Amino acid sequence: MSTDEKPKDFMDPSQLVKDSCCPFSKRALYWQIWRAGINGLAPAIYRVGRKIIISRSGFINWLTSHQRKSRKGDNDNN
């Protein structure tokens, strides 16, 4: 693997926002990255100098852990 290649699981923020797993805009994703220590995303983020890469699987795990349970009646069509 050359120095420019990243493992397939890792993406930079620009790549991640284009991926179907990411519901955020680029600006919103950077907000989540900036608050990673507070919101729990930190384990999925790697920083090498100024470069930020994110584990796609770690991001998906973080995202699903924040999924809200639907309240009774939210999806009722009555």
Q: In this predicted structure, what is the pLDDT of residue 73?
A: 55
Q: In this predicted structure, what is the pLDDT of residue 4?
A: 56
Q: pLDDT for 20-31, tens place per residue?
A: 999 999 999 999
> pTM score, two decimals?
0.75
Q: In this predicted structure, what is the pLDDT of residue 1?
A: 47
User: CA-CA distances (angstroms) from residue 66 to 41, 60, 62, 69?
Assistant: 10, 10, 7, 9
Residue 37: CB partners within 8 Å, gap ≥ 6? none
Helix (H, G, I), strand (E, B) or coil at 69: coil
Residue 40 DSSP symbol: S
CA distance 18 to 76: 32
Beta strands in the chain (DSSP E): 10-11, 45-48, 51-55
Give pLDDT < 50 ranges for the chain: 1-2, 78
Q: In this predicted structure, what is the pLDDT of residue 75?
A: 56
Q: In this predicted structure, what is the pLDDT of residue 42?
A: 96
